[in-house]
Structure 1
Amino acid sequence: MNLERKLEILADAAKYDASCASSGGQRRKSQATDGSIGSTTGSGICHSYAPDGRCISLLKILLTNRCIFDCAYCVNRRSSDTPRATFTPQEVVKLTLDFYKRNYIEGLFLSSGITRNADHTMEQLNQVAIQLREVHHFRGYIHLKTIPEASPELIEIAGKYADRLSVNIELPTQTGLEKLAPEKNLRRIQNSMAQIRSKNDESNDRLNSAKSERMRFFARKSRSFAPAGQSTQMIVGADDAKDRNVLERADFLYKSYKLRRVYYSGYSPHDHASSLLPIKRPPLVRENRLYQADWLLRFYGFKLDEITPESEAELPLDIDPKSAWALRNREFFPLDVNRASREALLRVPGLGVRGVDRLIESRRFGSLSLSDLKRMRIPLQKVLPFIVTRDYRPTLLERSSERLRAKLAKPAEQMLLPLSR
């Protein structure tokens, strides 16, 4: 099989992995005189975004789509009749360099099916990263998918050469894994995450303990373990897990293993799928609601029970999670934007982190009015029922929960649009 055909098969097979992002990567700037190539800065085909807004383009492929596992939800499972292909490490290195030199990409996202055993597969993935870094002095971004059952020594090598590592948890509960992916084990997956966190903590400790600027410089230079941290992916809609189960697992992973991101991927039916799986994919708006809830957990100070109470295990699809909380807690509103704390303002539907920070900064210079909010591009239509300004207070009619829900809900035709993807 020629290289072009392999690329066609293995790039297509990689599209199901959503945990492909480059946020947090080191800026390994190349110098014209040092013989290195590649950078995490610059321009190219936009595939993902860094926190500062930079577009990062990545070559996203599998090393192989052959796999000894038979996970029911995976198109590359052992019993699937999908076309198979395998790259050699040298072929992946060649593709990465060729694509970079053509300004198509700025980095590599490399995953793989498991062949022979976990250690063999991890060794092959590591070989790609080692050759890129050591032989070709590639300074661009590298994201490696790690194999949970691989030996700690191999995962440590992966972290030395990759910017980010990811271990996909796939399903939020052990019950779901036992039903759909019996060869996988939640405890082993989380053990790998714990190892990655431990190595990252060691790197941070060395950097924080440096007492001089010179020592910090060399500590940063020697920081060798996945500086962009780790991420994971959960498939939504393949099993019976509720949104609360998904978010409960995500909250645990963030707190226990300091994950940078949990990615949510709606189950996508494929040919010859197992009878254990649903016939239809879940609405893609469910993915969107989970990401919104994830954001509330990480950046807005919400607790899991506030987002998905035990009596409401599923997120509403017609309104966003923050609006749903606001409607359940009408006594919390309206808030005076000139007096309320930052933590309280972050709970106002329509106010994001940047908007709240602008409000707090601006009110130092005088009492805020509606015109001030408009100049700050605050979405007034959404926030007005929940706030008080110098010249505005919502009426009882405007604060009616029934009217508000109808106002905040997506129109039915918009709810159907994501289903066509």
Structure 2
Amino acid sequence: MFDRIREKLNILADAAKYDVSCSSSGGTRKNDSKGLGDSHSSGICHTYTEDGRCVSLLKILLTNHCIYDCLFCVSRKSNDIKRAAFTVDEVVELTMNFYRRNYIEGLFLSSGIFKNADFTMERLLLVVKKLRLEQNYNGYIHLKTIPGASDELIKEAGLYADRMSINLEMPTEAGLKLLAPEKNHADVIKPLDFVQKQISQFSADKKLIKHIPKFVPAGQSTQMVIGATPESDKDIMYTANAFYKNFSLRRIYYSGYVPISNDTRMPIMGTQPPLLRENRLYQTDWLMRFYGFKVQEILNDANPNLDIDIDPKLSWAIRNMQHFPVDINTADYKMILRVPGIGVMSAKKIVQARKFGKLRIDQLRKIGIAYNKAKHFIVCSDSPYQLKDYQGTQIKAFILAESKSKYLKTDSNQMILF
């Protein structure tokens, strides 16, 4: 690899790490010339398919030049950093070379905005067209939509990309205006809505016409930066819920703000949200998507922020003790899903297994539930005590005392994160 291309790759792969709209490996192992591969500087990240396969992606920006001055972004125009830009052919060549060497299985391509939205989107489109049409590349491509780009460019890009995404940036319009006054949520909502309508239209046409090209078959996603503005967890998850509902998004990613600016408009200047907050937001997201919870059940005016010391499912259960204990041998599937310590697969196994007889504690352990947590909320054939013997605060204390989490240590007065 030529030195200049390598330098560009180092700069633009490093700039792309702040976009978490695909899962990152977080690897730091360098090649010391005695082995194969390098997980540190090559810009390769990992994402996962719906069937659980791990897919390696080349994750880069086309350029880190940008006409915008968003305070939370390392590529903002006022930031004094090294600038670089790939040509279309360079991205194509990098992708194909890495793919032929079995380093990657796909491409995640984003970009700063230079000149204007259409100029940038045209070059992203040229990359994916060259890969598909000239190189006959059939691997996975995740392409960033540029806010403000024309519908025609976005539609054509959707014929070549597997997934498209566009960053919402801040959870609220007020937060976005505070840190990126040149941007607005309308420029994000418009392409999300357009792509969703196109996906629906192509799907409807496929029922009538045999040979219809695929359009964004892996759907859309978006990303919100959390902690750079003072929104509550309720604000964040209500926004997420609306976007899931209105645009059928596959995923929303929650990225804790990494302090990169000393501007006085940054309300938490010099600090970084705890990783546990990100984790709790993802857990809430999971409850909404796969466990049948409504966002209002988890977060509301009385509870605007998530508990850091316990997961949101356990927090909900403790606040709603009137629904417990759940009889594992008679309760319906939806209620079993709401028991802390029981996941989707375990709930399905319980419903199937009890057809052959009443379930006992040892059988529930074999099924794979987190019994030390679930035991406080269920009864089965040989339950040792009734839930009514304890208050919610007592149960929370029991579970925290038994916790072996490396992130949490508790005493009688406080929680310490480390």
Structure 1 equivalent of residue 94 of structure 2: 95
- Give the superposition deviation at 1:48: 1.4
Q: Distance in 1 between matches of 2:404 and 2:22?
A: 31
Q: Distance in 1 between matches of 2:416 and 2:10?
A: 26
Question: Does the alignment pair 1:125 with 2:124?
Answer: yes
Structure 2 unaligned regions, length at least 5: 25-43, 410-414
Structure 2 equivalent of residue 79 of structure 1: 78
Q: Which structure has the higher relative contact order (CA within 8 Å, separation 6+)?
A: 1
Contact 2:220 2:249 in 1 (8 A): yes
Structure 1 equivalent of residue 247 of structure 2: 257
Match of 2:334 among 329, 343, 347: 343
- Give the superposition deviation at 1:401: 1.5
- Give the superposition deviation at 1:340: 0.5
Structure 2 equivalent of residue 276 of structure 1: 265
- Give the superposition deviation at 1:125: 0.4
- One-letter amino acid of the counterpart of residue 274, structure 1: D
Provide closer, same or farther for how the CA distance between residues 145 and 418 of structure 1 changes in structure 2, counting only shifts above 3 A: farther
Match of 2:236 among 221, 224, 246: 246
Q: Distance in 1 between matches of 2:179 and 2:273?
A: 17
Q: Distance in 1 between matches of 2:126 and 2:384?
A: 64
Q: Give per-residue Cα distances to partners, 1:119-140, cap 9 Å, x unaligned.
A: 0000010010000000000010
Q: Give per-residue Cα distances to partners, 1:209-246, cap 9 Å, x unaligned.
A: 25xxxx6xx44xx3331000100000010001110011
Contact 1:384 1:394 in 2 (8 A): no
Q: Distance in 1 between matches of 2:314 and 2:8?
A: 47
Question: Does the alignment pair 1:395 with 2:386?
Answer: yes
Q: Distance in 1 between matches of 2:405 and 2:120?
A: 47
Which secondary structure does the structure 2 equivalent of 1:364 belong to? helix
State how 1:294-373 maps to structure 2 within 5 Å.
Answer: 294-373=285-364
Q: Distance in 1 between matches of 2:215 and 2:23?
A: 17
Which secondary structure does the structure 1 equivalent of 2:17 belong to? helix
Contact 2:256 2:272 in 1 (8 A): yes
- Give the superposition deviation at 1:304: 1.3
Structure 1 unaligned regions, length at least 5: 23-44
Contact 1:387 1:394 in 2 (8 A): no
Of all paired residues, the percent bearing the same amino acid is 48
Which secondary structure does the structure 2 equivalent of 1:61 belong to? strand
Structure 1 equivalent of residue 158 of structure 2: 159
Structure 1 equivalent of residue 407 of structure 2: 414
Which secondary structure does the structure 2 equivalent of 1:263 belong to? strand
Please report the RMSD computed on the Cα atoms of aligned residues, expressed in angstroms.
Answer: 2.0
The structure carrying a bigger helix percent of its residues is 1
- Give the superposition deviation at 1:419: 7.0
- Give the superposition deviation at 1:56: 0.2
- Give the superposition deviation at 1:397: 7.3
Which secondary structure does the structure 1 equivalent of 2:82 belong to? coil
Q: Distance in 2 between matches of 1:8 and 1:418?
A: 36
- Give the superposition deviation at 1:273: 3.6
Contact 1:398 1:404 in 2 (8 A): no
Q: Distance in 1 between matches of 2:159 and 2:255?
A: 28
TM-score by length of 1: 0.88
Equivalenced residue count is 388
Contact 2:21 2:223 in 1 (8 A): yes
Structure 1 equivalent of residue 216 of structure 2: 226
- One-letter amino acid of the counterpart of residue 276, structure 1: R
Q: Distance in 2 between matches of 1:372 and 1:177?
A: 51
Provide closer, same or farther for how the CA distance between residues 204 and 337 of structure 1 changes in structure 2, counting only shifts above 3 A: same
TM-score by length of 2: 0.89
